[in-house]
Amino acid sequence: MRLSVAAAISHGRVYRRFGLSPRSRLDLLRNLVTALVRHERIETPWARADEMRGYAERLIDYAKRGDKDERAMRMADFWLTEKDLIHKLFKVLAPRFQPHPGSYTRLLQIPNRDGLDRAKMAVIELKGNPLPPLVRPRRDSEKTLLNQLLKGYRQDAQRAAAP
Amino acid sequence: VLMVVGSPLPRLRTLLQRCWGRMERGLWPGVLGGQSPPWGPALAVQGPALVPQGINDAGESSVEVPSLLGSIVWMAAPKQRRTIEVNRCRRRHPSKLIEIKRNIDVCPECGNLKQKHVLCGYCYAKVKEETRLVRVEIHKKEGGPFNAPTVETVVLYEGEQPTEKDEGKRIIERARKRPSWFVQN
């Protein structure tokens, strides 16, 4: 029975490694969460956005408890380095997301960064933000071949059913 | 006889070199266990029994093992030139070729190519530019850093009035016609 962990095996580890140390990783993610709450849409490497998403959504869950809650206020105080955003979190974002049970953020991949590293980039935004929309919801068009064939089939069935 | 010597002490090295020299010249036949040269009777020989020192020194100077970095090490090297057929087999193996992407589509909005799971680059650049201009207006309205408002925000374009849904929201005005892809809620 293996009692010690061998080096370079990371089965089941969920947290990615960022920065210089675990504390540095938290600071990095904290900066990203602050930026997201301030600007409501940020563009960052995909791994960082994915990691940050969980923390941001849990912060909003804490904010939904209300600002009288001691733990919620301590969480917001730690995670938002710019203290005017604490007001925005409790007064704007918490009411905005009150009807939703979860998934307050949208993560979309964008083309790789233009620099030398060609990093996989993503844009993460809070739902319901006032900025121009990234993706338009497409309705399926009547004019596609499949829809035209299905329409014809439906009409034939109706004609056959109604003599 | 393969000899691998690391970096021994200088005295040991000279001793080994002398032994090697002697072996090569057949003056130390007992080592390899091969044929020993015919020795004459020691008593009848008038000359010296031992090899004189002069020959030794002369032999040593001619047998200079060129040692790189003071050590003798055998390194791996290819024995034969790889033919172009073998090279082609290795270079063109499927595992070394670039994979074909089959997830490229046409963006229905602008007609540029995009990957299926990635946003269209052109459309995203368009949206990014518009958000930048909206943020410029926001910055002008806020006036300085750390002035995040405690109310929601709504963006209105030229000739638009706030509806009853926009009660109590901060209004950001953009001095242009509303773009077709930014639908007002």
Domain parsing of chain A, residue ranges: 15-136
Q: How confident is the model at residue B41 (pLDDT cuts 50, 70, 90)?
A: low
Q: Closest to A109 (Cβ–Cβ): which among B118, B131, B147? A: B118
What HEC string does B77-98 produce?
CCCCCCCHHHHHHHHCCHHHCC
CB count in 10 Å sphere of residue B93: 9
pTM: 0.72
Q: How confident is the model at residue B57 (pLDDT cuts 50, 70, 90)?
A: low
- B123, B131, B153, B177: which to substitute to probe chain A, counting the most A Cβ within 10 Å? B131
- B109, B113, B114, B118: which to substitute to probe chain A, counting the most A Cβ within 10 Å? B118
Tally of structural domains, chain B: 1
Q: How confident is the model at residue B22 (pLDDT cuts 50, 70, 90)?
A: confident
Distance CA(B15)–CA(A67), nearest Å, equals 87
> What domain range includes position B169?
113-173
**Residue for token pair 């962990």:** A5
Could you write out the DSSP letters of every residue in B106-172? E-TTT--EEETTB--HHHHHHHHHHHHHHHHHHHHHH-STT---SS-EEEE-TT----GGGTTPEEE
pLDDT digits 0-9 by tens, A98-134: 999 999 999 999 999 999 999 999 999 999 999 999 9
Distance CA(B22)–CA(B16), nearest Å, equals 10
SS3 content of chain B, % helix, strand, coil (to 5): 35, 10, 55
Residue B92 lies in a domain: no
ipTM: 0.84
- The contact set of A with B (CB < 8 A) is 38-39, 41, 43, 82-85, 87-88, 91-92, 96, 108-111, 123, 130-136, 138
What pairing do the DSSP bridges indicate for beta strands B153-156 and B170-173? parallel
pLDDT digits 0-9 by tens, B58-88: 555 555 555 556 677 899 999 999 999 999 9
pLDDT digits 0-9 by tens, B172-185: 999 999 999 998 87
Superfamily of domain covering A15-136: Ribosomal protein L17 (3.90.1030.10)
What pairing do the DSSP bridges indicate for beta strands A105-110 and B104-106? unpaired
For the segment A48-57, the average pLDDT, to the nearest whole number, is 97
Distance CA(B174)–CA(A4), nearest Å, equals 62
Residue B10 lies in a domain: no
Residue B103 lies in a domain: no
For the segment A11-20, the average pLDDT, to the nearest whole number, is 95
Geometric angle at alpha carbon A148, from A146 and A152, rounded to 5°: 115
Q: Closest to B150 (Cβ–Cβ): which among A83, A92, A123? A: A92
Whether the CB-CB separation of B27 and B97 falls below 8 Å is answered with no
pLDDT digits 0-9 by tens, B109-160: 999 999 999 999 999 999 999 999 999 999 999 999 999 999 999 999 999 9
Whether the CB-CB separation of A63 and A89 falls below 8 Å is answered with yes
State how far residue B13 is from chain A, nearest Cα, in angstroms.
43
